[in-house]
Chains A and B, each alone.
Chain A
């Protein structure tokens, strides 16, 4: 049974709870648990639709998800409340960490530890492409587009924005759904 739709204040505190629960990671899972199961703001289907939209549009997925939930109930104000709730604590912590970093990164001990952490973090960055590779593996056109994009950025040294502005429309034209249309005509 769905609860009555949340006010901006409720959205703020709901997302604050999500952010605090997810301190060790797993933001998406916590978001689902709190929004769908605990607070019953939306059905699981509605949540999954939101996740699809959040992934499709530009912006960080989890923040987009907060925006989606907020906007659904209270438009722009709701979106702002949800983002504020999600970012308030982590962002404050990050600013503090950044200040400590600024003061201490020249210390040899700090620098040594960071060198190790950086190597691990680079491995995380490296895994991002491999993580979604399986979705495209059986599609030679997709792999070709990915390789060309990679070469444009790494070998030809083009900037990201022109690559997306030129490559995006071409890829969209290649993937424009025509099979569906001809089916309808038959």
Chain B
């Protein structure tokens, strides 16, 4: 594989997924994991979990994990290829949905009361719900291999639901626990 092959593989992959990112993009995580680990072997399972955590911890929309996946896929051909592939991945995942969104923004007045829109919103909501539970389970299984890691995950999940504390604190505390060797892979 040359750098260009990898670049093209990355662009093709994310262009094709863009319009399936329902419910804010997180619905695609499971697909990202499957494609970048199992199908194309850009990264390992553990690395996928790491990159997901990095994207969540870093400022900005967490959907930028796609840029990270592209970066890691391209880095085997050098830093320049890595950054180029990362940028291309981000553009590829955003371009189709952005074009659709521009069209939607400009024609919303006509579209908003159509039965299609109502059915789309009500029908795809439950599908998104099912996908998000599946994504949660997949990320959990990818990330955690130790009972204490599961305890941390479930605790954080509960805190996310019942408090308004910034998740950055949870990640910092869990990072410390990991640093002291309390949580293992």
Contact = CB atoms under 8 A, between A and B. Distances in A.
Contacts of B108: 49, 53
A99 B105 CA distance: 36
Interface string B145-175: 0001110111111011100001110110111
A126 interface: yes
Nearest to B114: A177
A147 interface: yes
Given A143-B126, A145-B127, A160-B30, A95 B71 contact: yes
Nearest to B138: A154
A67 interface: yes
Nearest to B150: A119
B88 interface: no
Interface residues of B, number: 114
Given A83-B94, A126-B157, A172 B18 contact: no
A94 B68 contact: yes
Contacts of B100: 57-59
Given A150-B133, A173-B119, A177-B118, A97 B54 contact: yes
Interface band, chain A? 35 or more
B93 to A, nearest CB: 9
Contacts of A120: 53, 152-153, 156, 167, 170-171, 173-175
Contacts of B52: 118, 121-122, 125
Interface centre among A87, A94, A122 (most CB of B within 10 A): A122
Given A53-B108, A94-B55, A153-B30, A116 B177 contact: yes
A126 B101 contact: no
Contacts of A67: 98, 101-102, 105
A131 B105 contact: no
A111 to B, nearest CB: 8
Contacts of B97: 57-59, 64
Given A25-B167, A115-B149, A116-B178, A71 B105 contact: yes
A131 B175 CA distance: 24
Nearest to A147: B130
A142 interface: yes
B3 interface: no
Contacts of B152: 116, 119-120, 123
Contacts of B144: 118-119, 122
A131 B156 CA distance: 13
Nearest to A170: B123
Contacts of A101: 50-51, 54, 72
Interface string A148-186: 111011100001110110011001111111001100000
Contacts of A98: 51, 54, 67-68, 71-72, 82, 86
A174 B24 contact: no
A111 B31 CA distance: 25
12 contacts: A55-B24, A59-B101, A61-B25, A71-B102, A79-B101, A98-B67, A112-B178, A129-B132, A142-B129, A145-B130, A150-B131, A163-B127
